Amino acid sequence: MPFLILALFLAALSGCDSYFFYPQRIHVANPYLERVLHEDVFFKTPDGVRLHGWFFHPNTEPRGTVLFFHGNAENISTHAGAVLWLAREGYQVFLFDYRGYGKSEGKPDMEGIHVDALAAIDEIFRMERVDKDRVAVFGQSLGGSVAVYAVANSPHRDRIRALVIDSAFSGYRRIAREKIAGVVLLWPLQYPLSLLVTDRYSASRWIGRVRPVSVLLLHGGADKVVPVRHGELLYRLAGEPKQLWIAPGAAHIGALSDENLRKRLLSFLAAVLGEGKNGKAGPRERTSPGGSFRESLFIL
Helices then strands, counting H and E runs in the chain, come out as 10, 13
Strand partners, 132: none
d(CA 95, CA 93): 6
247-265 pLDDT, tens digit per residue, is 999 999 999 999 999 999 9
238 vs 174, more confident: 238
Strand partners, 12: none
Kindly list the structural domains of the chain, giving each domain's residue range(s) and its CATH number in brackets, ordered by start: 2-276+292-299 (3.40.50.1820)
pLDDT at 241 over 80: yes
pLDDT at 300 over 50: no
pLDDT (0 to 100) of residue 17:
64
220-235 pLDDT, tens digit per residue, is 999 999 999 999 999 9
pLDDT mean over 186-192? 68
36-94 pLDDT, tens digit per residue, is 899 999 999 999 999 999 999 999 999 999 999 999 999 999 999 999 999 999 999 99
Q: What is the 3-state secondary structure (H, E, C) of 92-142?
A: EEEEECCCCCCCCCCCCCHHHHHHHHHHHHHHHHHCCCCCCCCEEEEEECH
Q: Other CB atoms closer than 10 Å to residue 236's CB: what's the count?
A: 13
- Residue 228, helix vs strand vs coil: helix
The edge-to-edge listing of strands for the beta sheet with 214-220 is: 37-44, 50-57, 92-96, 65-69, 135-140, 160-166, 214-220, 242-247, 296-299
Q: What percent of the chain has pLDDT over 90?
A: 73
pLDDT (0 to 100) of residue 33:
83
pLDDT at 189 over 90: no
